[in-house]
Amino acid sequence: MLAQNGVALRYWTSKDSKREIEFAGQLDAAVVPIEVKASRGSSRSFDKVLARDDVKLGHKLIDGNVGRSGKKVTLPLYLGMFLFRRPAETPGEQSRPAAE
């Protein structure tokens, strides 16, 4: 769904192949890690990446509810299609000038 919206997705693995991030997208100049989980299980690799100072935010898509813990934003799977979209880019809507 993200690739269909024009988001260039990348995969990352550590040099020793012990950690991986399933998807990484770019928002402005920042790389944003994305973890996809079928359940609410732990995400050790994802948490380690979020602990880095140069990572400001990460998204975890799960079969569950919305939440936030530090840099981790947890979203239901179906909301993944809206990641990396600006409000004016939402299909069917046109951006309007702000009212004065």
pLDDT tens profile 29-59: 788 899 988 776 678 888 988 999 989 999 9
Beta strands (DSSP E) in 15-54 are 20-27, 30-36
Only one residue has tokens 């732990």, namely 42
Q: Identify the band that residue 17 occupies on the pLDDT scale cut at 50, 70 and 90.
A: confident
Instruction: Outline where the chain has alpha helix (H).
Output: 44-50
Judge whether 47 lies within some domain. Answer: yes
In a domain, 37, yes or no: yes
Question: Would residue 41 count as lying in a domain?
Answer: yes
pTM summary value? 0.73
The widest CA-to-CA distance across the chain, in whole angstroms, is: 56
Closest CA relative to residue 58, chosen from 4, 3, 12, 5: 12
Report if residue 94 sits inside a domain: no
Domain encompassing residue 22:
3-85
pLDDT of residue 28: 77
**19/34: higher pLDDT:** 34
The yes-or-no verdict on residue 100 having pLDDT over 70 is no
Instruction: Supply 55's token pair.
Output: 């990572």
Comparing 100 with 9, which gets the higher pLDDT?
A: 9
Instruction: Tell me how many domains the chain contains.
Output: 1
